[in-house]
Amino acid sequence: QVPLVESGGGLVQVGDSLNLSCTASTSISRVYSMDWYRQAPGKQRELVARIANTGGTYYSNSVVGRFFISRENAANTIYLRMNDLKAEDTAVYYCHYKKIRDYWGQGTQVTVSS
């Protein structure tokens, strides 16, 4: 069973918005932090946003003020609202959490065309 399934990626224009979703196959209510990472071609995977089950959030400098992470524990789902997309946001976006070991989704492609 795939532990995490992302959806919502696609091809958009510069300045557009997208909403990503990630649904876990098990309850996330006791998972302290849930993350969105991204990996652009030829680059290392980087942390984009993180949300704790207390509601606290973290954003990388490159997305602060444009991206917003949220979680819905009852639905075992986290979201990433991406506004004012830029060409440099083009990447595969991955959902992640760690509970004893790392759990990753298969990724969803986001392509921002200029």
**Mean pLDDT, the chain, integer:** 96
Q: Please enumerate in sequence order all residues whose Cβ is within 8 A of that of 8, keeping only pairs 6 or more positions apart, or say none.
A: 18, 19, 20, 21, 108
Q: How confident is the model at residue 2 (pLDDT cuts 50, 70, 90)?
A: confident
Q: What is the pLDDT of residue 113?
A: 97
Measured over all CA atoms, what is the biggest interatomic distance in the chain, rounded to whole angstroms?
41
Per DSSP, 9 falls in state -
Q: Measure the CA–CA gap between 42 and 92, rounded to whole angstroms.
A: 12
Q: What is the pLDDT of residue 41?
A: 92
Summarised one tens digit per residue, pLDDT across range 9-58 is 999 999 999 999 999 999 998 899 999 999 999 999 999 999 999 999 99
Q: How confident is the model at residue 86 (pLDDT cuts 50, 70, 90)?
A: very high
Please give the C-alpha separations between residue 77 and each of 11, 36, 88, 95, 112, in angstroms, as whole numbers.
23, 12, 26, 10, 24
pLDDT at 1 over 80: no
Q: What is the pLDDT of residue 40?
A: 97
Percent of the chain with pLDDT over 70: 99
Residue 106, both tokens = 């298969």
